[in-house]
Structure 1
Amino acid sequence: MTALNAKSSHKPLLAALAMIGAGASFALVNGALQASTMQLGVPSTSAAFWQYALGLLVALPWVLRRGLTALRTRQIGWHLLRAALAVIGIQMWVAGLARVEIWQAIALVMTSPFFVIIGAKLFFRERVGPVRWLATVAGFTGGMIILEPWKDVFQWGAVLPVAAAAFWAGTSLVTKKLTQTEQADSITVYLLLLLTPVNAVLALGDGGIVPSGLALWLLVAAGLLTVLANFLLTLAYQQADAAFVQPFDHLKLPLNIAVGFLAFGFAPSGAFWPGALVIVGASLLVMMDEQKKSARQSAAAVRG
């Protein structure tokens, strides 16, 4: 085996490890955000601002290594729409983490792919087959099982992660459109550049505190880990097909459960397990359908 072949054979392993590393990093981010908001009293708007402002400070020099040409765009309207959807999603996510336990929040935000399917049909007129519609209904059913809105203990704050999932799905759809003409790193830095001032205004409107002590260090860690997680996520998709790495993304669920339990003593309720199983199963069904679709397209291209 040549050195080149040996290197190529390690790409799937590297992709899998990168995806697992991204999930672990995001789990630590969620733990840091929950500790700073739920336990140390930092307003969720301030936590969101510091997380992404610090991420911008780290990411901007990397993107601008290509010079100001990295900021050239003919799609400023789409960038603004993406930023608007993202900032609402972020604020709802951090506000959700301030109100509900990690295990519940992360399971509910995993409904995002099903919102993407609905959005792709409504806005891009993409064909959605019966398998994906079935998976979408199943995914939302799993979310309802976890939420248990029919019980007296239900709190509306638990809906925030679902709302965040919907807005992040919109962000994903706009990102898909932008990738047709824009560089990936430019798309990232535009998001951070546009998010930061909006998050700052929201934080100021909510009292705008500058954290100190442990809360400050937790938010610094959240910002750095956010950049690391996104880098590992990009690396994973660069080294292997999306169909290969996507199942490893579901490990974020047990990783977040572990962080919640070790850091806060949070343990999932009985309703969580069947609901999470339905959501993960529905996600895998969508992935398998995507694999079959890609295989058919490849076969058609070969015949053509």
Structure 2
Amino acid sequence: MALSDNTRGALFMASAMAAFACNDAMVKSLTQDLSIAQIMAVRGVMTTVLVFSVSRMLGVSLSLKWLTDPLVLLRTAFELGATLTFFSALARIEFAAAASIMQSLPLAVTLGAALFFREPVGWRRWTAIVVGFFGVLLIIRPGPEGFQPAALFAVAAICFTACRDLTTRRISRDVPTLTITLFTSFVVMIVGFALITPMGGWQPISSGNWLMLVLTSVAVFAGYQAVILAMRGGEISFVAPFRYTSLIWALIIGVLIFGERPGASVLVGAAIVIGSGLYTFYRESRRAIDTAKTAAVPPASG
């Protein structure tokens, strides 16, 4: 039976989230033996080679002229900040907690679009944003008993990632996606090598860790390509909510691989964040439908 575009899009999105969750789990495992800088450097080499090879195979132009684009440079800086802070969070807090906090990204992007791009956001979506960030507070538990300062790395990662996504919206469509990806992975690699000595120096890499580094590169690349196929293959309002399947994978991995037992505050907070995000997607789809209907109504003749 042939699958509809929306069904294919949803499957691609769910697959992408599984790939990203597996990547994050391997990175967390690697931080037990290697510094964040070393992971960034070695994985950066592998990702850069992979993206360059695919670009050559597809005949994608990799003109250096795009690398002077201020928005491309700004996006790369935000990506670098997001990588450093999220890897730091993975190394220090529970896997499920870090993944739960990251679920607030759509809310952060909506907030940033309203504040910086003046995109219209009604009171319902403002309410969803506030409620969603309340859910984040439940996860990080900012009290004297349960608060983990390291959880702020995940919050910072949300801010950097939201800024990256908002900057990406403003980059000209003439700039090839693979060019941006290649430049970003190259810069992350260079910064990783520069930080190896300050972060403790080079550590021997076992064969098992080499394998995980290779798999993380493949997982990240596959995840990004699956997201592109998902967003191009189905309706965004239908496909986008499947991003939240990443939390299901994160909870399963946290329990089975890392032996975690997420507390009630993490589970309740994650549910609030996801509920707020889904409501935001719903309101955005309703607004798009209403706008389309308004545009379709012919003006009254005088």
TM-score calculated relative to the size of structure 2: 0.91
Pick from 29, 36, 39 the counterpart of residue 44 of structure 1: 36
- CA–CA distance in 2 between the matches of 1:179 and 1:283? 27
Q: 1:303 to 1:69 in 2, by over 3 A?
A: farther
Is 1:298 aligned to residue 292 of structure 2? yes
- Residue number in structure 2 paired with 1:140: 133
Pick from 115, 124, 140 the counterpart of residue 131 of structure 1: 124
In the alignment, is the contact (CA less than 8 A) between 1:80 and 1:194 conserved in 2?
no
Alpha-carbon offset, residue 208 of structure 1: 4.2
Is 1:192 aligned to residue 185 of structure 2? yes
What fraction of aligned residue pairs are identical, expressed as a percent?
A: 25
AA at the equivalent of 1:202:
L
Unaligned stretches of 5+ in structure 1? Answer: 1-5
Is 1:260 aligned to residue 254 of structure 2? yes
3-state DSSP of counterpart to 2:257 = helix
Alpha-carbon offset, residue 181 of structure 1: 4.2
Pick from 36, 53, 63 the counterpart of residue 61 of structure 1: 53
3-state DSSP of counterpart to 2:14 = helix
3-state DSSP of counterpart to 1:152 = coil
AA at the equivalent of 2:74:
L
Alpha-carbon offset, residue 250 of structure 1: 0.7
AA at the equivalent of 2:216:
A
- Residue number in structure 1 paired with 2:264: 270
AA at the equivalent of 1:273:
L
Alpha-carbon offset, residue 192 of structure 1: 2.2
- CA–CA distance in 1 between the matches of 2:200 and 2:222? 29
Is 1:163 aligned to residue 146 of structure 2? no
Q: Deviations over 1:95-153 (max 9, x none)?
A: 10000111000011112222222221232122221122111101110000111111424
- CA–CA distance in 2 between the matches of 1:252 and 1:147? 19
AA at the equivalent of 1:34:
K
Q: Deviations over 1:68-113 (max 9, x none)?
A: 4555438611111111111011110011000011100001111222
Alpha-carbon offset, residue 23 of structure 1: 1.1
Alpha-carbon offset, residue 209 of structure 1: 2.1
- Residue number in structure 2 paired with 1:219: 213
Is 1:201 aligned to residue 232 of structure 2? no
- CA–CA distance in 1 between the matches of 2:67 and 2:215? 34
Q: Deviations over 1:180-217 (max 9, x none)?
A: 44333333223223332223222343234255112222
80-89 or 63-72: bigger deviation: 63-72
Q: 1:71 to 1:286 in 2, by over 3 A?
A: farther
AA at the equivalent of 2:283:
D
107-116 or 204-213: bigger deviation: 204-213
- CA–CA distance in 2 between the matches of 1:228 and 1:67? 18
In the alignment, is the contact (CA less than 8 A) between 1:23 and 1:251 conserved in 2?
yes
Q: 1:201 to 1:74 in 2, by over 3 A?
A: closer
In the alignment, is the contact (CA less than 8 A) between 2:43 and 2:189 conserved in 1?
no
3-state DSSP of counterpart to 1:251 = helix
Is 1:83 aligned to residue 83 of structure 2? no
- CA–CA distance in 2 between the matches of 1:221 and 1:210? 19
- Residue number in structure 2 paired with 1:98: 91
84-93 or 260-269: bigger deviation: 260-269
TM-score calculated relative to the size of structure 1: 0.90
- Residue number in structure 1 paired with 2:66: 73
- Residue number in structure 2 paired with 1:233: 227
- Residue number in structure 1 paired with 2:169: 176
Q: CA RMSD in A?
A: 2.0
In the alignment, is the contact (CA less than 8 A) between 2:60 and 2:178 conserved in 1?
no
AA at the equivalent of 1:167:
F
Pick from 236, 246, 252 the counterpart of residue 240 of structure 2: 246
Pick from 147, 160, 169 the counterpart of residue 154 of structure 1: 147
- Residue number in structure 1 paired with 2:12: 18
- CA–CA distance in 1 between the matches of 2:282 and 2:204? 45
Unaligned stretches of 5+ in structure 2? Answer: none
Is 1:34 aligned to residue 51 of structure 2? no
